Amino acid sequence: MKLLIKVGFLTSLFFLFACNNHVETKPKSIITKSKPTVSFTFDDGNTEDIANYKFEDWNKSILNTLKKADLKSVFFVTGFNKTDKKGTYLLTEWDKQNHSIANHTFSHPNFNDKNNTLEIFEDELQKTDSIIHQYKNYVKYFRFPYLKEGKSKEKIDGIRSILKENNYKNGYVTIDASDWYVNSRLINQMKYRKKVDTLAFQEFYLNHIIDRANFYESLSFELNGRHIKHTLLLHHNLSSALFLKSLIKRFKKEGWEVIDAIEAYKDPIYESLPAVAPAGESLIWSLAKESGKFEEILRYPAEDSRYEKAEMDRLGL
C-alpha cells in the first residue's frame, strides 16, 4: 500500500511538472516561411513563322504550356499586326483561354526619344485600345515598350496623366531579363547552322532568368521587407515556346510559388509611382533608384544584350 501511494504521488508530480512546462506548438502550415512568388506576362504578339516553326504551332506551344500549368498570363500586345487574319487569330486564341489582353502601344516606340511626344503616346495608346477592347478578357493595363517611360519630369507626368485620364494602369514589370536577346541568337543559329544545340540555349536561358529573378527578389525584399508578387517579363517568341515549360519547373524547384498574373497585380506594390528620371526599367529598379541606397549595384539600362553577349560568345551560343 505504501508503495502504491508513493508511485501515485510521483506520477502526480510528473504530470504537474509537464503541465507547467508545456510549450504550445503551432501547426506547420502556420509557421512555414513564405515563398517568393512569380507570375508570367508576355509582350508584343508576333504572328510570323520562325525558322522551321509555323506561327500557329509555336504560339500553341506557349498556350498549351500555360494550360497544363494551370496559369493565366497578361498578354501585352502591339496593335500594328493585330487587325489582319493572323492577328485576329492570335488574340482570339489567347482570349479563349482566358488570358488577359492588355495594351503595349500600336507600333512599339521608345518614349525616351524626344521625338515621341505626348500626342504620339496618346495616339499609340488609343489605337491599340480600339483593337483589343472587343475581347472579353481585355484589361486596362499598359506596358511601355523597352520599359522606357520618358526622360524628363514633364514628359513622365504628362504620360501618367494620359494613362489616368484613359483609366489605364501601368503594367509594371518587377523581374526584367534579356530573353529577347537569347531568342535572337537562337534564331540566328537556326538560320545559318545545320545543327543547333537547343539544350545549351535552354540552360543559358533558364540560368539567366533565374539569376535576374533572384536579383530583383533580393532587392525587393530589402526595399519592402516582404516577398512581393512578382511579374516576370517574357516575350511572345520562339524561346518562350521551347523553354517555358522548363522555366516554370525551374522556378518551382528553386522554391518559388507560381501564380496568375492578374493576381500578382493585386499586390499594393503596383500602385507605386517612383519619382525618378529617366522613368522605367523594372519597378523594383525604379524604387531602388528612388531610395538612393543601391547605387553600387544599379546599372543602366537595367537589362540589355551587352551584359550577356560575352558569356554567350564564350559558350558558342
> What residue has cell string 484613359?
166
Query: Is 87:94 a contact under the CB 8 Å cutoff?
Result: no
Taking phi first (over 0 means left), then psi (-120 to 50 degrees means alpha), and beta for anything else, what does residue 45 get? left
- Quote the Cα angle for 125-220-214, to 5°: 100
Q: Please, are residues 147 and 173 in contact by the beta-carbon 8 Å criterion? A: yes
Count the alpha carbons within 13 Å of 73 in the hemisphere toward its beta carbon. 29
Structural domain contains residue 216: yes
pLDDT given at position 34: 86
Q: What is the CATH number of the domain that holds 82?
A: 3.20.20.370
- What are the start-end ranges of the H helices in 97-197? 118-132, 153-165, 179-192
Evaluate whether residue 14 is within a structural domain: no
Q: What is the pLDDT of residue 214?
A: 98
CA distances from 29 to 17, 76, 122, 171, 261 (A): 29, 36, 48, 33, 25
In a domain, 106, yes or no: yes
Q: Is residue 196 part of a domain?
A: yes
Rounded to whole angstroms, the Cα distance separating 288 from 211 reads 18
pLDDT recorded at residue 33: 63
20 located within any domain: no
| Enclosing domain of residue 85 | 37-315
Q: Give the three cell numbers for residue 243.
A: 523553354
Q: Strand, helix or coil at 226? A: coil
- Asked whether residue 28 is assigned to any structural domain, the reply reads no
| pLDDT for position 32 | 42
Rounded CA separation 210/262 (Å):
21
* pLDDT per residue of the chain (317 residues) written in tens, 0 to 9: 333 333 343 344 333 333 333 333 333 333 346 899 999 999 999 999 999 999 999 999 999 999 999 999 999 999 999 999 999 999 999 999 999 999 999 999 999 999 999 999 999 999 999 999 999 999 999 999 999 999 999 999 999 999 999 999 999 999 999 999 999 999 999 999 989 999 999 999 999 999 999 999 999 999 999 999 999 999 999 999 999 999 999 999 999 999 999 999 999 999 999 999 999 999 999 999 999 999 999 999 999 999 999 999 999 99
Residue 6 lies in a domain: no
Total domains in the fold of the chain: 1
Q: Is the residue at 111 inside a domain? A: yes
